Structure 1
Amino acid sequence: MGRNWYLLWSGSAVSALGDGIFLAALPLLATTLTQDPKLIAGVSFFGALPWLLAALPAGAAADRYDGRRLLLVALWVQCVLMVMLAVFHSAHIAFLYGMAFLIGTAENVPRAVGQPLIKATVEDHLLERANGRLFASQAVALQFVGPPLGGLLFVAAVAAPFWVNALTFAVAALLVTGMRTERKEPVARAKAREGLRWLLRHKGLRVVTVVTATTNLCIAMTMATLVLFAQQRLGLSGAGFGGLLATLACGGVAGALFAERILAKVRHAVLVTVVVIPLMWLGIATVARDLWTVAVFAVVSSFCTAVWGVATSSFRQRVAPPELLGRVSSAQTLITWGVQPVGALLGGFVADYFGLLAPWYVAVALRSVVGLLCLKPLRVHFLAAALNVHCAVEPEQDAAVTLPDASR
């Protein structure tokens, strides 16, 4: 791991800090304008909607143009948008919807170019380590440090978290400017749909996509009204809400840091995460009535989520062709993140009609069913990846791979 990797890693961590601040500050700002669960869920909906609309074009751009330059443009655009939000924060909630949409659109670019940039700056055998460190730093910044800081800044001054967020994007852009990567000349053709077609043909990535999409749908359902859950069920203030979001990071940091060792030593670690995550959500819905109880279940859930994320990211980086990696990653993002606006709307309506706990129960049921149905194919494909079978197999040839019995 050289200088380029560490600059990329640092820039990602700093921008993730801003994202964490934004994660707590935006819903808190929305509650100053309305207490309607459906309208508050609308903020999450419009923030997630760009993943449906912009993911594929962002992936095509990542494979066609220089990733470092695209990343710089996206960071400066997000900086300007945060300044606008800081200045006009007291506007109508429709303004929040528009800003959430624009910021979400800009976020598609760093995610699309991040996968090829990691692949270009890290050797193949170090992918788990690189992804683990990246996940850990993002978890610390995005969930552990950012949300409490965002809550505290919001209490101090409504506009303060957005000014600080703008600063983080500017610092991240300066760090990325220091990278010295080989300049990539524009590729003549980089059709966005090619990545989606490749993804749909690859059996292993299809299963991973289904499980991840279901997980994200369920998380979006619960997160859409989490601020009301925190205020009404747990009795938390603005700073307390930031602390609640921070508990999600505790397990995520540990999971990301230890994922490389766990995946190397525990054959069925990926399968364990699939089973445990919905059980933790069930605990939050049935037992948790204070911050500390929620924290216990959240830590375990986020630990498993981080291990899953490192495993699936490394799997995708290995099996996808380098010239298609940006588009394959964005195609997967289209599906796995594109379900979030649906989950946000569904969570808002379910909470409004059936109570704040209802989205948690729906999430547990849906995620459990999908997870159990996908256990067998996940076992087959991740075992194959561990044996380096998939690295040399074309997508359409997956069915021909013969694997040893994993129970031996």
Structure 2
Amino acid sequence: MGRNWYLLWSGSAVSALGDGIFLAALPLLAATLTQDPKLIAGVSFFGALPWLLAALPAGAAADRYDGRKLLLAALWVQCGLMAALAAFHSAHIAFIYGMAFLIGTAENIPRAVGQPLIKATVENHLLERANGRLFASQAVALQFVGPPLGGLLFALATPAPFWVNALTFAIAAVLVTKMRTQRQPRPARPKIAEGLKWLMKHKALRTVTVVSATTNLCIAMTMATLVLFAQHRLGLTNAGFGAFLATLACGGVAGGLLAERLLAKYRNTVTATVVLIPLMWLGIATIAHDLITVAAFAVVSSFCTAVWGVATSALRQRAVPTELLGRVSSAQTLITWGVQPVGALLGGLIADYFGLLAPWFVAVGLRTIVGLLSLKPLRAHWPGAALNVHLAAAPEHDAAVTLPDASR
């Protein structure tokens, strides 16, 4: 791992800190304008809607243009949008919807260029390690430090978290500016749908995509009214809500750091995460009535999510040809993140009609069904992940990914 990787890693961590601040501050801002679960869920809906509309074009842009320059442009745009949100924070809820949509649109570019940039800056046998460190640092910034800081800043002054968020994007842009990457041959006019077609032909990645999409749909259902869940069921204050979100980071950090060893040593690591995640959600919905108990279940869930993320990222980076990686990654983003606005709408409606616990029970049932159906395909095509295995570039081969018996 060289200088370019560490600059990319640092920039990602700093911008993730801003995202963590935003994660706590935006629903708190919405809650000052309305207590209607449907209207609050609308913030999540409009923030996630761009993943349906902009993911594929962003992937095509990532395969055609210089990824570093695209990332820089997106970071500066996000910086400006955060500054605008800070300046006009007391506007109507419709303004909050619009800003959430624009910020979500800009976020598609970093997501699209991130995979090619990681592959360009990290040697193939170090992908699990790089992805693990990336997940761990993002968990610290996005979940552990960012949300409590966002809640605290919001309690001090409503626009403060958004000004600080704008600053984090500016710092990340400065770090990315110092990267020096070589230009790669790129298609003059990449076909937008080509990545989606490639993905649908690859059985292992297709199964992973379905599981990830279901997980994100369920998370969106529960997150849409999470601020009300925290306030009414757990009795948390604004600052306490940020601390509540931070509990997720403990498992995410551990999962990111330990994923490389677990994936190398235990052949059933990936399938174990598929089973454990909905069980943890069930615990939150049934026997967790205080912050400590919720945190215990959330830590295990986030640990499994991080391990799953490291494994699937490495699988994608090895399996997909470099010239298609941006489009295939964005095709997965379209599906796995594009379901979030649907989940947010469902979460708001379900919570409004059946209570704040209802989205959790629906999420447990849906994720359990999909998880059980995926176990056989995952075992057939993905008993594990290996650093030194080179997957066939063509999806028609549907190469299985296997774990070595020994540690890497």
Bin of the TM-score, shorter chain as denominator length = over 0.9
**What whole-Å deviation, never above 9, does each CA across 1:84-103 have from its counterpart, x for those lacking one?**
00000000000000000000
Matches within 5 A, 1:369-384: 369-383=369-383
Q: Does 1:398 align with 2:398?
A: yes
Residue 305 of structure 2 aligns to which amino acid in structure 1? T
1:318 corresponds in structure 2 to 318
1:129 corresponds in structure 2 to 129
Cα deviation, residue 186, structure 1: 5.8
1:251 corresponds in structure 2 to 251
178-187 or 283-292: bigger deviation: 178-187
Matches within 5 A, 1:247-286: 247-286=247-286
- Give the whole-Å Cα distance in 2 for the aligned partners of 1:183 and 1:392: 24
- Give the whole-Å Cα distance in 2 for the aligned partners of 1:56 and 1:245: 30
1:85 corresponds in structure 2 to 85
- Contact preservation (8 Å) 1:270, 1:307: yes
- Contact preservation (8 Å) 1:11, 1:176: yes
- Give the whole-Å Cα distance in 1 for the aligned partners of 2:297 and 2:176: 36
- Contact preservation (8 Å) 2:4, 2:181: yes
- Give the whole-Å Cα distance in 2 for the aligned partners of 1:109 and 1:191: 17
- Contact preservation (8 Å) 2:186, 2:323: no
**What whole-Å deviation, never above 9, does each CA across 1:282-340 have from its counterpart, x for those lacking one?**
00000111111100000000000000000000000000011000000000000000000
- Give the whole-Å Cα distance in 1 for the aligned partners of 2:185 and 2:388: 32
Cα deviation, residue 184, structure 1: 4.6
Cα deviation, residue 196, structure 1: 0.3
- Contact preservation (8 Å) 2:269, 2:384: no
- Give the whole-Å Cα distance in 1 for the aligned partners of 2:271 and 2:186: 40
- Contact preservation (8 Å) 2:320, 2:393: no
**What whole-Å deviation, never above 9, does each CA across 1:255-278 have from its counterpart, x for those lacking one?**
000000000001100000000000
The count of residues paired between Structure 1 and Structure 2 equals: 404
1:188 corresponds in structure 2 to 188
- Give the whole-Å Cα distance in 2 for the aligned partners of 1:215 and 1:261: 24
Residue 227 of structure 2 aligns to which amino acid in structure 1? V
- Contact preservation (8 Å) 2:125, 2:388: no
Q: Does 1:159 align with 2:150?
A: no
Alignment CA distance shift 1:209-1:96 (3 Å):
same
RMSD value, Cα: 1.7
- Give the whole-Å Cα distance in 2 for the aligned partners of 1:402 and 1:323: 21
- Contact preservation (8 Å) 1:65, 1:185: no
Instruction: For structure 1, list consecutive stretches of 5 or more residues without a partner in the other structure.
Output: none
1:225 corresponds in structure 2 to 225
Matches within 5 A, 1:2-401: 2-184=2-184, 187-383=187-383, 386=386, 391-392=391-392, 394-398=394-398
376-385 or 234-243: bigger deviation: 376-385
- Give the whole-Å Cα distance in 2 for the aligned partners of 1:319 and 1:403: 13
- Give the whole-Å Cα distance in 2 for the aligned partners of 1:220 and 1:328: 23
- Contact preservation (8 Å) 1:58, 1:330: yes
- Give the whole-Å Cα distance in 2 for the aligned partners of 1:105 and 1:46: 10
- Give the whole-Å Cα distance in 2 for the aligned partners of 1:388 and 1:3: 23
182-191 or 77-86: bigger deviation: 182-191
- Contact preservation (8 Å) 2:255, 2:307: yes
**What whole-Å deviation, never above 9, does each CA across 1:16-57 have from its counterpart, x for those lacking one?**
000000000000000000000000000000000000000000
Cα deviation, residue 397, structure 1: 2.4
Alignment CA distance shift 1:320-1:89 (3 Å):
same
4+ runs deviating over 6 angstroms: 387-390, 401-404
Alignment CA distance shift 1:360-1:196 (3 Å):
same
Cα deviation, residue 398, structure 1: 2.4
Cα deviation, residue 183, structure 1: 3.3
Cα deviation, residue 383, structure 1: 2.7
- Contact preservation (8 Å) 1:350, 1:358: yes
- Contact preservation (8 Å) 1:42, 1:345: yes
The secondary structure found in structure 2 opposite 1:289 is: coil
- Give the whole-Å Cα distance in 1 for the aligned partners of 2:401 and 2:25: 51
Cα deviation, residue 386, structure 1: 3.9
- Contact preservation (8 Å) 2:51, 2:104: yes
- Contact preservation (8 Å) 2:56, 2:331: yes
Alignment CA distance shift 1:330-1:205 (3 Å):
same
- Contact preservation (8 Å) 1:65, 1:187: no
The secondary structure found in structure 2 opposite 1:392 is: coil
Alignment CA distance shift 1:232-1:384 (3 Å):
closer
- Contact preservation (8 Å) 1:384, 1:390: no
- Contact preservation (8 Å) 1:66, 1:186: no
Residue 194 of structure 1 aligns to which amino acid in structure 2? E
Residue 62 of structure 2 aligns to which amino acid in structure 1? A
- Give the whole-Å Cα distance in 2 for the aligned partners of 1:387 and 1:152: 42
- Give the whole-Å Cα distance in 1 for the aligned partners of 2:330 and 2:402: 30
Residue 232 of structure 1 aligns to which amino acid in structure 2? H
Residue 130 of structure 2 aligns to which amino acid in structure 1? A
The secondary structure found in structure 2 opposite 1:192 is: coil
178-187 or 301-310: bigger deviation: 178-187
Q: Normalised by the size of structure 2, how large is the TM-score?
A: 0.97
- Contact preservation (8 Å) 1:64, 1:186: yes
Instruction: For structure 2, list consecutive stretches of 5 or more residues without a partner in the other structure.
Output: none
